[in-house]
Chains A and B, each alone.
Chain A
Amino acid sequence: AQSVTQLDSQVPVFEEAPVELRCNYSSSVSVYLFWYVQYPNQGLQLLLKYLSGSTLVESINGFEAEFNKSQTSFHLRKPSVHISDTAEYFCAVSDGTSGTYKYIFGTGTRLKVLA
């Protein structure tokens, strides 16, 4: 069965410093990969997604993630974080096999940006 691992449950980082949130998934023939962000007392919102094509995908607020098939990873990065980036981030995978019905979520990483 497909699985997603986010090894870091919490990541503290100072404002304007770079950050990397790690995500690894179990191998599959083809996968679709997503990062979602959850702000306090809200639902999850799509941050970015990899479906096919370029392995580097970007969000509108400066985050980027790189699909690495050989390492089965989809790490999320931002070169300079802001206080407003404080949130919980979830990696998710959807198996690309036709008819597969569900997304598998990681356990989440809490990013805390310190002033």
Chain B
Amino acid sequence: NAGVTQTPKFQVLKTGQSMTLQCAQDMNHNSMYWYRQDPGMGLRLIYYSASEGTTDKGEVPNGYNVSRLNKREFSLRLESAAPSQTSVYFCASMKMTGAVYNSPLHFGNGTRLTVT
């Protein structure tokens, strides 16, 4: 059981380049999330998808776009990378029970992105 799989594991970009971070889960979860982790700042929510076909902004959405391709896959795109986007990016999924978020999040192992 793979859980949440993120690709790539590492990436180096030059300022202005674009890239897409891929995320897939095999747990039949309905909700998926993208977080970024920076030293001393914990995890900050970039975008989330409560269910297939819906996406919404989190705390720090500027400079990013997302696509919920199907129930399994949720991608994060950087259209024009900036050094401020150097971070570790985590995808997570959750099985939502009813309308209340009391289930745990399941995380991938992260993508380490450096923008020079």
B-contacting residues of A (Cβ < 8 Å)?
Answer: 9, 32, 34, 36, 41-46, 49, 51, 90, 92, 94-103, 105-108
Contacts and interface: CB of A to CB of B under 8 A. Distances in A.
Contacts of A41: 109-110
Contacts of B74: none
Contacts, number: 64
A79 B41 CA distance: 28
Contacts of B101: 32, 94-95, 100-103
Contact of A46 (B45, B102, B104): B104
A43 to B, nearest CB: 3
Chain B interface extent, by class:
20 to 34
Contacts of B105: 36, 44, 46, 92, 103
A92 B37 CA distance: 14
B76 to A, nearest CB: 15
Interface string B38-76: 001111110010100000101000000000000000000
Interface of B: 4, 33, 35, 40-45, 48, 50, 56, 58, 90, 92, 98-102, 104-110
A43 B99 contact: no
Given A43-B108, A43-B110, A101-B48, A107 B40 contact: yes
A87 B87 CA distance: 19
Contacts of B104: 34, 46, 49
Contact of B109 (A34, A36, A42): A42
